């Protein structure tokens, strides 16, 4: 059981907790929200670093070895297949929910397991990938990304035309969309800055950055973060270009996680000029306000936890809207030690750990 009858111990897994990629920031924000709600998050990672130290300073336990988890979790929230597998072997009778954040990355492909009760993709494309890997249809659905809007200060003014723009994307390089975007912004008389892992500049706290800009080129969670301050957002990442997000297009694009499936065009001068031509301060969505009532959603969550606080952790999980089946999983006939042992992990910005893809980049 968890630490007490009124709270849950939640084990989260994520490959990396170093530089602030999409899944890293997602994991950090989720852990802090769980802690704020009175639960006990524990984060298991193979590569600890900047963000892991931030979590530890906030009182969240971060481990790189599952044998250092001395309390049985009540539930797993899993990212990245090998770490999910290790957690299931370490605690074979604990129910798990897993998330897929990337429709192509080999690390973001959890193999079906009896211990996994629900499968979530952050986009329709990610959910389709889970189904292709063998996830049960009735246990698979889309659960879009989120942003903690409490941290974001909305822009005070919205000029009739953008004056400052930002590329906020880890896939942008000098060989993809950066030169073309620079030229388009120069033609339009808009000052341009760029932040992204491949550009040598990252931001673990975009809430301190984004409100300075009228226009942001981003995808995935980064796009939501820009919308949280009220900036206009053009979906753009690497060589791919999508539309400007408006209140009318928000719901359809969110089903695609504002990601790869929404990037239908190549980055060209004409394409960028058409996209920014749709700039209209009155039509830009403010995530958490105009697109969905985040404050009311948080109140509903808090009221739900309070109303079930007298239940056991298992009963509380049964009451979740997920309606997860919580029958004990069959015992796994395998050596936990052989799978849980953390391999030596060499990190490369271009290939990710052990050369298996760019794991942890913005949600696609």
Whether the per-residue pLDDT at 52 is higher than 50: the answer is yes
Specify the length of the chain in residues.
364
- pLDDT tens-digit readout, 160-211: 899 999 999 988 998 899 999 999 999 999 999 999 988 888 888 888 999 9
Q: Helix axis angle, 220-228 relative to 22-36, nearest 10°? A: 60
| Mean pLDDT, residues 17-24 | 87
Q: What is the largest CA-CA distance in the chain?
A: 64
The per-residue pLDDT for 58 is: 95
- pLDDT tens-digit readout, 231-251: 999 999 988 999 999 988 998
Start-to-end C-alpha separation, the chain: 35
Task: Please give the model's pTM, rounded to 2 decimal places.
Answer: 0.73
Q: CA torsion sign, 124 to 127 to 132 to 138?
A: negative
- pLDDT tens-digit readout, 28-38: 999 999 999 99
Query: Cα–Cα distance between 14 and 23 in angstroms, integer?
Result: 7
Lowest-confidence region among 53-57, 198-202, 220-224: 198-202
Angle at CA of residue 351, ends 96 and 131, nearest 5°: 35
Whether the per-residue pLDDT at 298 is higher than 60: the answer is no
| Mean pLDDT, residues 215-241 | 92
Query: Cα–Cα distance between 248 and 339 in angstroms, integer?
Result: 47
CB proximity list for 162: less than 8 A, separation 6 or greater: 188, 190, 214, 215, 232, 276, 279
Q: Which residue would you say has higher pLDDT here, 45 or 18?
A: 45
Query: Cα–Cα distance between 38 and 213 in angstroms, integer?
Result: 35
> What is the DSSP-derived secondary structure letter of residue 137?
G
């Amino acid at each position: 059981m968890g630490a007490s009858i009124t709270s849950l111990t939640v084990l989260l897994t994520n490959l990396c907790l170093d530089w602030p990629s999409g899944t890293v920031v997602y994991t950090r924000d989720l852990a802090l929200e769980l802690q704020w709600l009175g639960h006990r998050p524990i984060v298991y990672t193979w590569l600890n670093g900047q963000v892991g130290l931030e979590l530890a300073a906030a009182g969240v336990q971060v481990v790189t070895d599952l044998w250092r988890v001395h309390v049985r979790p009540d539930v797993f929230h899993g990212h990245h297949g090998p770490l999910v597998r290790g957690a299931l072997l370490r605690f074979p009778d604990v129910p798990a929910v897993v998330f897929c954040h990337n429709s192509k990355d080999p690390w973001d492909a959890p193999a079906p397991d009896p211990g996994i009760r629900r499968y979530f993709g952050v986009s329709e494309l990610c959910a389709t990938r889970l189904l292709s890997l063998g996830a049960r249809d009735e246990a698979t659905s889309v659960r879009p990304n989120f942003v903690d809007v409490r941290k974001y200060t909305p822009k005070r003014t919205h000029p009739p035309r953008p004056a400052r723009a930002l590329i906020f994307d880890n896939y942008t390089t000098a060989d993809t969309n950066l030169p073309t975007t620079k030229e388009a912004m120069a033609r339009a008389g808009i000052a341009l800055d760029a932040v992204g892992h491949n550009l040598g500049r990252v931001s673990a706290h975009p809430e301190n950055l984004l409100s300075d800009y009228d226009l942001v080129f981003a995808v995935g969670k980064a796009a939501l973060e820009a919308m949280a301050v009220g900036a206009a957002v053009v979906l753009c990442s690497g060589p791919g270009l999508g539309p400007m997000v408006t209140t009318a297009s928000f719901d359809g694009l969110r089903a695609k996680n504002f990601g790869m499936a929404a990037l239908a065009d190549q980055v060209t001068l004409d394409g960028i000029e058409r996209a920014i031509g749709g700039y209209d301060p009155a039509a830009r969505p403010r995530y958490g306000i105009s697109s969905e009532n985040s404050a009311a959603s948080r109140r509903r969550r808090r009221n739900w936890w309070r109303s079930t606080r007298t239940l056991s952790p298992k009963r509380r999980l049964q009451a979740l809207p997920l309606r997860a089946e919580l029958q004990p999983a069959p015992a796994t006939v395998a050596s936990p030690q052989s799978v849980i042992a953390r391999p030596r992990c060499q990190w490369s910005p271009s290939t990710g750990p052990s050369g298996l893809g760019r794991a942890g980049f913005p949600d696609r």
